[in-house]
Structure 1
Amino acid sequence: MSTPVLICDDSGFARKQMARSIPDGWDVSISYAENGQEALECIRQGKGDIMFLDLNMPIMDGYQTMEAIRKDDLPCLVIVVSGDVQPEARERMVAMGALDFIRKPIDNDKLTTLLKQYGIYDGEATASSRRADARLSHAASQDERLDAYRELVNVAMGRAGENLAKLLNEFIDLPIPNVNVIESNELHMAIAEINHNDSVSAVSKGFVSAGINGEALVIFSDANTADMVRMLQYDDEGDELLQLEALMDVSNILIGACLNALSTQLNVSFSHSHPILLGRNRGLDSLLHDSISRWTKIMAVEIAYSIKSRDISFDLLLLFPDSAMEKVYTRLVDMTENNA
């Protein structure tokens, strides 16, 4: 009798990646859910004896889903599959009853080892690249491509959050990345949330490899700068040079970790430019205009990090010109196919 397996992730691309990672020799019937609310309905219908659960989702996230499973004592073994790999995230989910925690993107051999460890599966480690509903296509729609880009960045965002959490010794709240393909003069509308701050500072770093180029910016509300200096335990939070050093340190952590994770997923090696302070105490529009005026159409990825315990927020913005978008998608699909 087939084992009912449920894959819960808001990304269709991620659901396909997870389905392709399930060993071929494991007799399973797979169902899918796009959020925790759908997942709970599936479990109650007997479609989720084992669930692979994402954390960052709309409507009902992984934490809320796990809490509901525990509260209602639902018959489901949960393995978390997430880009958010902060130790506190793992501890919280395991404390609520999750079996284990797997880092995205899935390592097929590690998944098989984990399934064997818990007595769930005892066969070979061959991944199931033949599942009809898990095939990836280069001829994808615009929505499918945006979903793939969002999942690519979701993994990179998690790595950057993990590194920043270690640096600051704080839990970093991670959002669902906001991905838009827009004309460059429309960028300010795509990141309206940042514009709520009248005065910001921004650090920029360019990157390029294998025909893929772009720019990464970290945007800080000037009201948060002193708090970040305190968290970094610098000597004098009022010192202008120390505030600048704090901006550079946090920016290097975020951008470096994010680009390294993108490099791994795309199998490229990015060359980085030196970080540049675009400006202090300026409006966002004037800061961004200098960076993107040379491009006509861009893919803008906004990641709104926050440290709720300190009431601090800042944004990582990844900008790719239209000439790089097709190369990013093609390499992502090829890497996923090759790793299956």
Structure 2
Amino acid sequence: MKVLICDDSKVARKSIELALPKGWNIEVRFAENGQEALDVVEQGLAELLFLDLTMPVMDGFEVLRRIKEKQLDCLTIVVSGDIQEASQREVEKLGALGFIKKPIVIEELHSLLERYGLIKELLPENHQREEAKTGHIEPTDILKEMSNIALGDAAKLLGDMLGSFIQLPVPDVAKRPYDKLINELHDEDYRINMVSEGFVGNAIAGEAILCVDNRTFNDLPSKLSDYHGYEFQDDSQSVFLDVASTLIAAFLKSFSSQLDLELNISQPAFLGMSETINNVFKEDVKDKQVLIITIDYEIPDYNLNCDLFVIFTESSIAALEERAGYFIDE
């Protein structure tokens, strides 16, 4: 059987391949985004597709739509960190055989394959199939995939809170000078509202900051009132604080648990209200080199956006990479 694994994460691609039954007689290919996967399927080189949802170029939802529209002969199993019920209903409607939550559970995958009778041809005893090449995996690749899973967990909680589907982005994880972040965000006329929560534990410390623009900040109470049927009396600060606390805590809890970390998280606090970037980020008191996870959430039903920055101190980077490195050897 020709199997295609499509995910923008090298870590996820390798994890799925290693989770497949060892004696299964298959030929495995990889794709790094939805467009690559669709090209392979259209060439008839994929009979079974393992598909991520959140990817650059073309996401998994669009791949499923194209396969259905063109009536391509390929079965699809979605493997994703986007665990929102709306996402699972959508992929089922688009024809996916099943949905498996990241991080992948081997028994769950095997059970699904057996349920649909996909494990038919087995290799001779003591014979192993040739593994596909994924490329060298860095600790940052591990941290990016863990961030992807964590943002999915956080988005589900936020979506339940707002009663809406959350459009998940591809997280950016990179080591960079702190002043580079300031330069990227800098706009003298752009005013934002920020809530911060600090965290510390296991030689790791940092700060998570949720940012929204003034329009999003002012619209939150009415949008929540429309959904919950309760008048929030235009208390924008309290509503924003609740949303920020939910999103930040959910992300940090999921991210830290994957690394077997115990983080103590501070109470949420306002960093600035309708402030410019330079009035909030003080580069002279920050580390020169930090590791930053950047996530841009979109809530289409509400026409709202928010940016989450999880910033690890310079002294935390080595400890993070050491813990992530354990997963490379597994």
CA distance in 2, matches of 1:94, 1:109: 21
CA distance in 1, matches of 2:117, 2:313: 47
SS in 2 for 1:232: helix
CA distance in 1, matches of 2:66, 2:135: 33
TM-superposed deviation, 1:295? 1.1
SS in 2 for 1:216: strand
CA distance in 1, matches of 2:265, 2:97: 39
1:265 paired residue number: 258
**Are the counterparts in 1 of residues 54 and 170 from structure 2 also a CA contact under 8 Å?**
yes
Identity between Structure 1 and Structure 2 (%): 33
CA RMSD of aligned residues (A): 2.5
Asked whether 1:256 is paired with 2:254, we answer no
SS in 1 for 2:23: coil
Asked whether 1:93 is paired with 2:85, we answer no
Cα 1:29/1:100, change in 2 over 3 Å: same
CA distance in 1, matches of 2:4, 2:328: 21
Asked whether 1:57 is paired with 2:51, we answer no
Unaligned stretches of 5+ in structure 2?
A: 123-127
Cα 1:153/1:190, change in 2 over 3 Å: farther
CA distance in 1, matches of 2:293, 2:147: 8
CA distance in 1, matches of 2:33, 2:182: 29
SS in 1 for 2:282: helix
1:119 paired residue number: 117
1:180 paired residue number: 174
Asked whether 1:220 is paired with 2:212, we answer yes
Unaligned stretches of 5+ in structure 1?
A: none
TM-superposed deviation, 1:282? 0.7
CA distance in 2, matches of 1:101, 1:7: 14
Cα 1:333/1:105, change in 2 over 3 Å: farther
2:183 paired residue number: 189
**Are the counterparts in 1 of residues 205 and 312 from structure 2 also a CA contact under 8 Å?**
yes
CA distance in 2, matches of 1:25, 1:248: 52
SS in 2 for 1:252: helix
In the TM superposition, what are the counterparts of 1:87-166 in structure 2 within 5 Å?
87-121=85-119, 133=132, 144-166=138-160
Cα 1:265/1:134, change in 2 over 3 Å: farther
- The correspondence for 2:222, drawn from 215, 227, 230, is 230
**Are the counterparts in 2 of residues 152 and 265 from structure 1 also a CA contact under 8 Å?**
yes
**Are the counterparts in 2 of residues 17 and 134 from structure 1 also a CA contact under 8 Å?**
no
In the TM superposition, what are the counterparts of 1:286-301 in structure 2 within 5 Å?
286-289=279-282, 293-301=285-293
2:304 paired residue number: 312
| TM-score computed with the length of structure 1 as normaliser | 0.86
TM-superposed deviation, 1:191? 4.2
Cα 1:58/1:27, change in 2 over 3 Å: same
| TM-score computed with the length of structure 2 as normaliser | 0.89
1:109 aligned partner, one-letter code: E
TM-superposed deviation, 1:130? 9.6
TM-superposed deviation, 1:106? 0.8
- The correspondence for 1:78, drawn from 58, 69, 76, is 76
Asked whether 1:244 is paired with 2:237, we answer yes
Residues 69-91 of structure 1, C-alpha deviation per residue, up to 9 Å, x if partnerless? 11111111101111111111111
1:198 aligned partner, one-letter code: Y
SS in 2 for 1:206: strand
CA distance in 2, matches of 1:258, 1:119: 37
SS in 2 for 1:159: helix
Q: How many residues align?
A: 321
